[in-house]
Each structure stands twice: as structure tokens, then as C-alpha cells.
Structure 1
Amino acid sequence: MALASWNLDDDTGRPAQKQAVLRQQLNEQGLRLVSLERHGETVSIGVENGTYGQAAQAVGRAARVLANTQEPEVEAFDIAIVSNGVPLSSVRINRADLYELEYDPDGAWRSFARAEVSNAVPLFEGHLTEGAFPDFKYRIGPYFQASFFDPDSPLRYEIGATLGADYTLRPGLSFSGSVRMPLAGNLDTVTRVSNSVLPKVRSNWGRYAKESDLRLEHLTAEHIWQPGRDLYARATFGYLETMYGGLSAELLWFPINSRLAVGGELNYVKQRDFDVLFGFQDYSVATGHISAYYDLPGDYHAQVDVGRYLAGDYGATLSVDREFNNGFKVGAFFTLTDVGFSDFGEGSFDKGIRLEIPVSWLTGRPTRNKLGQVIRPVLRDGGARLNVRNRLYGFTRNARSQQLAKGWGRFLR
């Protein structure tokens, strides 16, 4: 009876219990309620989607929960998709459309035609739900890492256990870390010594596998915010990846309804010790790129990065991916820099293919996790780029209008 008080008037009911009912029902759908506000006949919420590969499915689940819990006089729902406390986009759903199109054979597409996708406003303290921040999450599970085309062993691999945690202190400000413990494999039996004439920014990967045991994969403080309309910014400091630590800053321009996005990134990093713990080596470098991203017709996606790489070389990388509606992705990339083919060494220039498989396809249960693998004929030092978590284009893209449209077939699922 206490939970049922959501349908009482504000002056006689209990707003906190209404919020508790909404939070509980969203949790049952795999969504976390972050903000809640009502303006007249419109209810606005912010939800974090930690479950569904398509943001459109999260919007559909949230809309149905709102339709089942809000007072009859509420006519519209503004549902903001939030990540790490950062609102990425907002979708307005008219309540009457949900009822009218529920059993329509083409209800998913018609509902998208009637929905309004817009930029979400930043979250303000007065709109945050009780207990929304700080937020703590952890994850534990297996990992698999592979290396291909070593003449001494064409397939090298490593499997082990990983433990990670994320602590979001307030919207946009988070602290993250992860450790790995290798348990089996032959990555650490590499005997080939790098003969690179360039700074050994990647070709010593075998030493990292051989000389490390328990590894601190990353340990960072990160701030993501919106400095202006259609703009996102990120600053990350700490141990950024297995081989490098330092400071990374990024700015992205990405209009809500645009196929095109443009961004810039600057990094100053130092190479980590081979034991992948807290020490550093002598090598440091400043890198940076200007990047353009474009959604091509036919589920293709292109990306061009121009700038300075980890070995101090200048050049550009072209990537093209084919993305399927079921979450699978296959693509290829190549990088050409001012390093000559002879100086680059075996392989002449950096190139490879990459694959992504949604874990939900293997388990039959909704999850945002994916299995990814980059296959290179050889890993050398030219054209090597820093690996940074939460680069802004990947961080924001799933909630932008183009991706919502592609995934809207799951809105009513």
C-alpha cells in the first residue's frame, strides 16, 4: 500500500514514495533513475542505460514505465539518456502515441516519426533524485587477449581475470580503475627482440607480458562536460592504458541530428614500466589528432584522424566499418606517416582489421558488453596511437539521432 501511493495527489501523497516506485520499476528494466522533474503536463527524467545495446530500447522501456506510473494528466515524457551523469540526448514521447501504436504492425517506425530528439540539458542538483550521486559500480570477469602472425607462434593468447571499479562523484566527474591477473597463455613466451629504429612505443609489447604479473590496467580521474551547444569536452589524468600514463584532453562537436562530427585531442604521456604497476620509463611524448567522423549510407561508418603519433611521427589514419543492426561490426584501417617503409620495418605501415561481437548474441540476455579484437599482421612503432577510455565520439554516438533511428526497431521490445 505504501508503494501504491504514487497515484495520489501531491498534496496528499508522498512524492518520495512516487520517486521510489519509479526508481524500482526502472531498476527492474535495467535502468538507473538519475533525475526527475515535472513541468505541468510533462515529466522529464534522466536514466542511465547499463543493459541494452541499443539506446532506443532503453528509451522504450523507460517510456512504458512512465506510462504505467505517472498521473493521468501527464501527457508527455522527456527521457534523457545519461552516461556517467552526462546527458547525451533527450527524446520526447507523447503518452497518447504509446497507447495508439502499441499494437500497430509498423508501430516502431511510426513512434520514431512522432518522437522528438533533441540535445539534453545538463543535470542540475535540484533535479537529481535522492541517492543518484555518488554512484559506485564494479565488474569482475574473465578476459582474453590474442596476438597473431608471430613467425615463432602464429597464435599467441592470454586469458585471466579482471576486476574494475568506477566511482562517479557527481555528474561528469568519475574515478576509475582496473587490474588484471593473467592465468594461462603464451604471450609471455615471446623471444623476438624489437629491432625498431624508432622509439619502441609498441614493439616491446612482449616485455610487458613477460615482466608483469598482477597489472594495473588503468587508474584515472576523468571529467566530461558540455562547454556549449553541440559540444562535449573531456579531461582524463592518470594511468591511461597498459603502456602509458599522463594527461589527455579532448573536444568534440557533434550536432544531435548530424551525420558528421569533428573533434580534437591533445595528450602528454610517459611510458610505463614493464611491470605495469606504478613506475615510469624515461620516454615521454606529446601527441594529438584532429578527427572527423561520418555515418555513410548503407550502415557504413568512416573516420579520419590526422596528427602526431606516439613515436613522434606525423600522418593520418583512415578507418571504415560496417555496422549491422544486430550489433556486429567489422572494419579495416590503415595509417601512413612520415616514417618511411624501410624505417617502419616489417609490414611497411600500420594496418589491420577489427571485429566486434555483442555478448548478448552469445548469451541471449541483454547487455552492452561486446567482444572486440584487432587483427594486425604485425605490431610496430610507426602510426601507433594512445588508447584512451571514453573517447567522446564513442561515448556520445549511441544516443545521437542517427543511431537512435537505426536501433528504433527495438523501441517496443
Structure 2
Amino acid sequence: MLNNTALYCLLAGSKYYDFLESRDFASQIKSCSEKEIEYFFNNRFIRHEKWFRRYLKILIAVFTVNLLARKFERSLSRLCCFYDLSYSKFAPATFMALSVFNKNRLLFNIEFDQFIFLRDLIHIVNSKVNEFCKNTSLKPERVQFIQGNTPLGVEMEFSNKGTAAGRFLETGKGDPLVNFSKYHYYHLTNFMWRFGAYIDSDTPFKQFVKKGGFLEYTFTVPDKFLQTSMPLTNSPDFAGKLIGEAVKFTPVQPHSLHVTLQKNSRKNKQPFPSFNEILFLLFCSGQFLHKNGKIVESRIVEENMKDIILHRKRKNYRQWVDTVEFSHMRLCRDFIRRNVYEPSIMLMVAYKNLFAFTDIFPYTNKLRQWGKQPYVPALNTGDMFELIRKGLDEEKALPEHYKEHIMEKIKEIFSFNRAIVTGKTA
């Protein structure tokens, strides 16, 4: 890619694609880019701050991924019927770019002068990407992902301050990124548009005073008040792998994961799950750790979830839809190493197909007590696995061998967690 093309492509952000069909495309993206260059120049005083280099490294990595993703988009555009416009059309190329970046971090590493100009920095990033692409066949390693019938979305939360990140008075002391409160100096959420990135906190007003909070990714249109949203994909296979690459890429501690599944409006009336059936879900997808001499479920004991499972209506680009949001999962590198996310999302899909979830979730207080002293659910596990398989069978698009594979993974995770909770680890 030519340097000026890369400059305009990066600095115009998502507007690059908005203006693509416009007659004034060149002048519009040039105007956007010049405004960004002027903004960075006018805020050059931040180069003396301790956090300056850390944030700039994040910006460089984001620029690199955006350029790689643009190149992947060209490859994918030649593949017939790859995109389903019901879902995020940018996520596949972004996933592939993240995968390449994560495998070649040293090659894309850039040493920069503290007072480098933005234009010069982008030229260096572009030359790195061009050099890499010249010496490497930039073909997607994998294009096909196993697709189900359920539209789904994810929200990944990152924070170096844990649950304190969302508090209004959190100062970020002790965090090199100062609770991600300096993102606005770099227009990071604009440039991370491919990530569907935004900053969230317990108090919405906090963002107006730029106090930072959780860095969140959706990889699609973020779910904002009075705005339409869009599901990420209908492939738990793709979602699980995207989560893994996103965590590897992000230099902020992973914190939590929310998974939202669209309900089938034509589904017959379903039963409400029992307490033990909900426990089984949490037992198979929870994180059990030693804390103060005992085992706890790490997400539940934080007590920063309004509800573990929420029934919500969301407005996508076509209509209002019923969704179920599961907010109980930990986002962590250990789950990625053990490939926990894909089978866990499939488990949630099975539960969504089997049970009804109302606006008010009745088990929250009991589950909080269980999280402090978890135990194995008092259920016949064989019967539960058969029930889960029944829920998976509702996903008619999934091949049988894939369902069998997922069931084996769920059983494996259940056994792993049971060994921790009962103290019978090897």
C-alpha cells in the first residue's frame, strides 16, 4: 500500500468505508486525516508524560492490524458468498489480521523517537506491513468456520484495575495505563473501530469527564443506548478463536466476557431452569481458584454483575429481538490455552434452546452464596449431558461430528472443574 493511501485509510477510520462510494471520497478522507494530524500535533505536550510510550505502542499495534486487515479484505472479497451481511462484515479480516500480528510481533515491532510525527510513524508502520506481505503469502489460513443457527455477540472487558475500573473515583494509581483514562489523547476508540472498542464504567457520566474504565471489544457495532446493534456471527467456532486472538493482542489484563444469544421467536414455550441446572452451567464454564485458603468461583465473588443471566430486547438493523445475555464468564489466558470458550458458548446455546429466561432472574443471591463455597451440582451428570446434547440438536446447521466434539469438550471441562472443587486434582 502506498504511504499516502495507508495514511488516509488509517486516519479516516471507519469513515474510509463510509465515504468509499462518494464522489468526493478523496477530499473527504484527506480532510479527516488532516484533522487527525493537526489534533496529534496540538496535543504533543503528552509526549512528556510517563504513560505516553505505552499508549503509543498500542496505537502502533492497532495501525498495524488495521493495515493487515485491509489487505485480508481484498483476499476475502474474491471468495464468493463469504460475507453474511446479517453479521459483522469486518470481523473475519480483523481476526485474520490479529492472528498474523500475534504470530509475528517481533517483525512488526517498531523503535520510535519520542517526538516522531504521526505521518512519519504511519509511513514506518506501512513499510513494515509492506515488507512482511512482500516476503509472506498473505492468504487466509482458514476461511470456513462451523456455523450454527443462533446469532451471537460478545463483549470482552479488559482492565488492569479489576472491578475497581468502573468506579467513578478510581484514579488508576499503580496502573501504567492509568485505568485506561488517557485513551482520548490518541483517539483510540476511533482507530479501534474494527474492534468495536469503547470504554465502559459503572457510571455512564464518567466517560464525559474522561476518567477511564473497562476497555471493551464487541468486534461489531457496540450496544449503546437508543442505537441499533448487530450480532457478531452465528459461529461459536469463529467467536471462540476471535476471543483468543483479541486477548493475546491486548496489553491490558483480561477481565470478563459477556455472551449474548438471540432467541428463536417461533420456539414453543420453554421451562424455566432449576437452580441446579443453572449451577451446572456455571460449573462447566466458571473459573475456580484458591482464595484465602478456600476454593471460590472468581467471577461470582467479585459481585460486580447485576445479574448472571439477563433477558433483554435489542434492536438490530431489522427489528427488535429477544436475547439472553450470559455475563458470568471470566476472560483469561488460561481458558484460551485450554480452549474453554468455544464449548462454553455452545453450552450457552444449548441452554438458550432448552430453557426460558425471564426479565427477573430469581437465583442471583443463592448463586452468590454458592460462588463463595462452590460444590458439585446435585444432578445426574449423565442425564444433564443428554439434555445438553438435546439442546445442541436444535442447531440444525451444525454437523454431527462437531456436536460430538463439543460434548466431549464440555465433559472434559466439567471433570477439570470437579477435580478442583473437590480437591482431587492430580
TM-score (norm 2): 0.22
Decide which structure has greater strand share: 1
More helix by share: 2
Q: Which is bigger in relative contact order (C-alpha 8 A, separation at least 6)?
A: 2
Larger radius of gyration: 1
